[in-house]
Amino acid sequence: MTDTHEISRQNLLRRGFALEYTTLGWNVVGIMVLAIAAISARSVALAGFGLDSLIEIGASTVVIWELSGMGEARQRRALRLIGVAFALLALYLLAQSTLVLVSGFRSYHSPLGIAWTAVTAAVMFALAAGKARTGAALDNPVLKTEGRVTLIDGLLAAAVLAGLVLNSTLDWWWADPAAGYVLVYYAAREVREIFFRGH
């Protein structure tokens, strides 16, 4: 019975690693795609989502360390570094989105950004569901928590997608910086969770 339980746990761990490495790989590719899309469209929301993808790479790395049996102290240090990165992201997006709104700066249409954020939203929702199930089966709070971060990443992709589509179809230029404010809210919430609630 113990051997069967151990085999089942090893299978779940392998699934957890696979989910995290998939998230990691997707975000690495995403940074490159989003950089091209953000520069060509001059989009604040796409640039912010690209920075968020960079932070997600850090979050996935933390979980991979934890699943590998690394110590809690190292995990806490890594989470604090992620918290600092989220704080810098929030400050950057707040300043940039406000500047864009005040100046009336208009981003270009971005078919690449629309396509990437649409696919990313679907992929992140699927990965989040897998992490939630695997984390629950392993009784691993770190994997479950990071699964919620992945879910929010999917929601952010959907928010950025909405801003891009509104700008493209209705010429609502302010939808791009508005999507940037959604990212500000998310980043600030993560900072609060990491530094003030001990996660």
**Is residue 113 scored above 90 in pLDDT?**
yes
What b/e string do you get for 138-177 counting C-beta neighbours within 10 Å, with b at 16 or more?
bebebbbbbbebbbbbbbbbbbbbbbbbbbbeeeebebbb
**Is residue 125 scored above 70 in pLDDT?**
yes
Q: Cα 52 from chain centroid?
A: 5
* Structural domain spans, the chain: 2-196
Q: What is the mean pLDDT of residues 127-138?
A: 93
Q: What is the mean pLDDT of residues 84-91?
A: 82
Q: Given this model, what pLDDT does residue 75 score?
A: 65
The CATH code for residues 2-196 is: 1.20.1510
Q: Residue 71 — pLDDT band, cuts 50, 70, 90?
A: low
pLDDT over 90 percentage in the chain = 29
Q: What is the mean pLDDT of residues 55-83?
A: 76
> Cα angle vertex 63, ends 118, 21, to 5°?
50
**Is residue 124 scored above 90 in pLDDT?**
yes
Q: Three-class SS of residue 109?
A: coil
Q: Please check whether residue 63 is in contact with residue 157, taking contact to mean a CB–CB distance below 8 angstroms.
A: no
Q: Given this model, what pLDDT does residue 17 score?
A: 93
Q: Given this model, what pLDDT does residue 15 score?
A: 94
What tokens appear for 79 in the block?
């989470």
**Is residue 199 scored above 70 in pLDDT?**
no
Distance CA 176, CA 43 (A): 7
